[in-house]
Amino acid sequence: MLTTQRKQYLMDLLRRDGQVVAKAVSEELGLSEDTIRRDLRELAREGLLQRVHGGALPALPASPALADFSARAQMSPDAKAAIGRAAAALILPGQVVFIDGGTTSGHLVRSLAPDLRATVLTHSPSVALALLGHQQVEVIMLGGRLYRHSVVGVGAATLDAIAQVRADLCFLGVSSIDPDAGLSTGDFEEAAVKRAMWRAAAQTVVLASPEKLATASPYRIAGADEIAALVVAHGTDAALLARYRALGVTVHVAPA
């Protein structure tokens, strides 16, 4: 069977069954799993499907959160404010916390108790500035090259600074999150910084406003099963949240 024929077969199977299991297809066609996985990788690069462990699922829509910072600030403002308040309540006195950049992170820091005592590490100038009034919060800037699209620091200096820390919590912003496709974002270097913060924290909490759910972005950060918790808006689909809970993720639903 030619490569083009195999790929067409895989796409037909995906449309019919809603998934492709590489092992089953390899046995059915008498081909190696490596061959099928290679075909699936190529189809994923073309945006025709999403690769998952053991096979593939239909392609997810692109995330509206790939827009720049100013455009994202206009998306779901009420939901982001509620998510920020719920996330702020998770920080305990004395903790060392990474706070990622992003519009929802801005709501988080503005919701912190005025007398909170903690240490916040961030690569976001806007997050750092929002903490100026919190006299008992020590703010550590992570530095790096300014990525203007998201208004955060990225690059080798940022990664090196993160590597020197072991935080209690990481509040992570993402462009996309899906139970199967995991966490992803739209820039290669920004994904590396988010991945480093996730790895350097005992627990990672993802702030997921409605436009980010069940979408995919080009650069993967981590699997959905590799985070501790998810904070979502009131009214988020219960069936979708059940899929995260099945992965062992604690789901915090922000009050309306």
Whether 59 contacts 40, CB under 8 Å: no
Q: Which of 56, 60, 53, 61 is nearest to 18 (CA)?
A: 56
Question: With a threshold of 0.85, does the pTM exceed it?
Answer: no
pLDDT one-digit tens code per residue, 149-196: 999 999 999 999 999 999 999 999 999 999 988 999 989 999 999 999
Residue 1 makes CB contacts below 8 A (sequence gap 6+) with: 9, 29, 31
What CA–CA distances, in Å, run from 140 to 98, 107, 128, 154?
9, 19, 8, 15
Q: What 8-state DSSP symbol labels residue 225? A: G
pLDDT one-digit tens code per residue, 29-73: 999 999 999 999 888 877 788 887 888 888 777 777 777 877 887
Identify the residue whose tokens are 């912003």: 173
